Amino acid sequence: MSSPTPGAAAPELLERRHDGVLWLTINREERRNAISPGVLAGLADALTRADADRSLRAVVLTGVGDKAFCAGADLQSGKSFKFDYAEPNQAIANLFRLARRLAVPLVARINGACMAGGMGLAAMCDLAVAAPHAKFGLPEVKIGLFPAQVLSVLNGLIGPRALSELCITGEPIDAQQALALGLVNRVCDDLDAGVQALLDRVLDKSPAAIRRGLYLMKRIGAMSFEESMAFTESQIGLFALTEDAAEGQAAFREKRAPRWSGR
């Protein structure tokens, strides 16, 4: 990534690519990595490009520093809940829609407070690793509001009783509680090592299987049982037609490591 021009404002979203992984870092530490229009636009642009880049194997989303992953809306701006009411779609809702269509694994590296809209960013990810000091919450009721779009990505991720308590009380939970609820996959004392260990378990697998698999998983969630069975019946044959499927089975028979083409 190129260095910013001297005197220019620092970008609100940092991008770094390494070994087939795109790292996206919210760069608003003075605002506890709160969401801004620039952050939303940057994330939407980056994820759109990532979905079209077949050489990318995963995307990691995190925040600068060790205090906050994302504190949600930037209340200090006084404009967080000012909308163009003639516009039926909002930027954060469109980001969640985009993440739901993404066929590249999206991993949340939760390095601190994960609140309100930040919970939405974490929930839109496929996998999540948290530091032990991370806190999670939906405190909107404390300022006279209620989580809205965030509910669409949290609903089904954790149980309805736990979600109701988070929304209605506005009180936070710690990382171990988040783990018990299934909000995160693991809590790691060494956050970077934990993220890398999870990535390592993804990067040695078939890119084609993961890409088609995410497509499958993200579409059956809203289907009835019979719709889901009919859809998956048609999809399994397509998995078997990929080059990766032929290579994976050959490697199994020949007792060697597969050489994935991603096709």
Distances (CA, A) of 24 to 16, 63, 112, 151: 7, 8, 16, 23
Q: Which residue's entry shows tokens 């859809």?
A: 231
Host H or E run for residue 58: strand 58-63
- Given 12, 15, 30, 140, which residue is catalytic? 140
Structure tokens at 196: 């890398």
Residue 207 and residue 142: Cα distance in Å, rounded? 44
Tell how far CA 158 is from the center of its chain: 15
Q: Measured between alpha carbons, how far is 36 from 72 in angstroms, rounded to an integer?
A: 9
140 is catalytic: yes
Write the CB contacts of 46 (distance below 8 Å, at least 6 apart in sequence).
13, 15, 22, 24, 59
- Phi, psi angle pair for 131, to nearest 5°: -75, 155
Which letter does DSSP use for residue 31 in this model? G
CB of 242 closer than 8 Å to CB of 212: yes
Triad 171, 172, 177: Cα angle to 5°: 125
Catalogue the active-site residues. 140
